[in-house]
Amino acid sequence: MSKRNFRRDDPFSEDGGDTTSTSWHEVDSQIFGDSTILDSLAAADAQRERIKRVDIFSIMPDLRQPRRTVPSQVRADWEGSSENVALLFNRWLEAVEAERNSPFDLGAYLENTETERAEDTGNLYLPGPFERSLLEVVKLAASIRRDGLTNPITVAPSGKAGRYILETGERRWLAYHLLWLWFDGSDERPDERDDWKHIPAREVKAVSVWRQANENNARADLNAISKARQYAVLLMDLLPDTFKPLSTFKSDRAYYAQIKDARVPSGKAEELMTAIGVTNRSALARYRRLLDLPDEIWKAGDDRNMAEEQLYNLANIARTSPKQALTRFNEIVAGRNISSRNQDYGPGTKRHFSYLTRAIKKAGHGREEHNEASIKAIRELQQWLQEQENRIRKYLE
């Protein structure tokens, strides 16, 4: 085999090579002489420079954000100010301890001494909606304390000097507040406050509901109510209409419901579906229908992460009889025996099947509690399957 002529094949060779190849001087000229490329590089450098450490107390959450980190019942006692985050966590902890009817050892999680986690599948204990949502923030805080924050939050100037609006990262921001509150330098807790007073943040010019949607969609864990909110805020952004601000409504559902009768602008349906993460227009119609839910079902369905199918059926009932929809909702909750020690896993979801499987495995002689839990979960599934069969049979009529 002949020896390869690397000089001849060198695309940057200035002599002895292919006359069509590019010289180093030409490459240099193309890169550093092209203002477009230079502008792009400068823009990238500027974006990196905008990542900085921001005082957590200078940040206000975006109350329109579709994703809800804090349960609605707890959030109702908090006006959204960074100065009152301590009050928020106190209310949250009270709700958790009332829900589980026992103390919640917050420090054990934050200080990595908790050995029996609430998600332990060794028994049938499942955290309720208040505890589940708090655990997501607590576990994130413990992870940040151990490994640091790898994904900065995104903020935009609020219009007041040194103040920001939170675009993405509410859970991360709350985790920093929790660490700052807990590690206060007391005898029992090490003094780490300086570590958690400022959070890495990427500054953008203005809050974008489309960037929020992109992050929410990437995480793929929005529940049905959150997706309805997502649909509403994106459609508001596409429409020239002037919508009333959130502060003028008694409930957030009423704010989002302003778009109930609005049409998607021509040519924008695909953009809207991509941002939300759906593949057909019927999904958009379903999210619009959820805006017909009574406020009580809207809030509880969000806190409990109720299945979209159940909420959609309730919304259809609510269009003609909100009272009947509320009665049906209470029957669903009562049928599942939602207590302080049971999470609201809706029939038809992966979580419900997982719970059912664990309950059945633990059933047996002398295990009355597990036997009753198994039967209850089976009946829930049977009822759900019957509802689905009845719904599908209507299509055959």
Question: What backbone phi and psi angles, to 5 degrees, belong to 158?
Answer: -90, -10
Is pLDDT above 90 for 364? no
Count the Cβ atoms, other than its own, within 10 Å of residue 218: 9
Q: 41-50, 200-209, 336-345 — which is least confidently predicted? A: 336-345
Burial of 73 (0-12, 13-18, 19+ CB in 10 A): middle
Per-residue model confidence (pLDDT) at position 339 = 36
Average model confidence (pLDDT) across the chain: 80
Per-residue model confidence (pLDDT) at position 372 = 74
Pairs from 359-364 (Cβ < 8 Å, separation ≥ 24) = 359/124, 362/124
Percent of the chain predicted with pLDDT > 90: 44
How confident is the model over 22-26, as a mean pLDDT? Answer: 49
Q: 69-78, 189-198, 372-381 — which is least confidently predicted? A: 372-381
How confident is the model over 190-208, as a mean pLDDT? Answer: 90
Per-residue model confidence as pLDDT tens digits over 38-74: 554 455 444 444 789 999 999 999 988 898 899 988 8
Q: Which two tokens stand for residue 305?
A: 């992460």
How confident is the model over 231-252, as a mean pLDDT? Answer: 91
Q: 17-31, 124-138, 142-156, 183-197 — which is least confidently predicted? A: 17-31
Per-residue model confidence (pLDDT) at position 57 = 95
How confident is the model over 245-268, as a mean pLDDT? Answer: 92
Q: 10-24, 127-141, 192-206 — which is least confidently predicted? A: 10-24
Name the band, by pLDDT with cuts 50, 70 and 90, for residue 125: low
Predicted TM-score (pTM) of the model is 0.70
How confident is the model over 218-241, as a mean pLDDT? Answer: 87
Nearest to 304 by CA among 230, 224, 231, 379: 224
Count of alpha carbons within 13 angstroms of residue 109, beta-carbon side: 22
Per-residue model confidence (pLDDT) at position 20 = 44
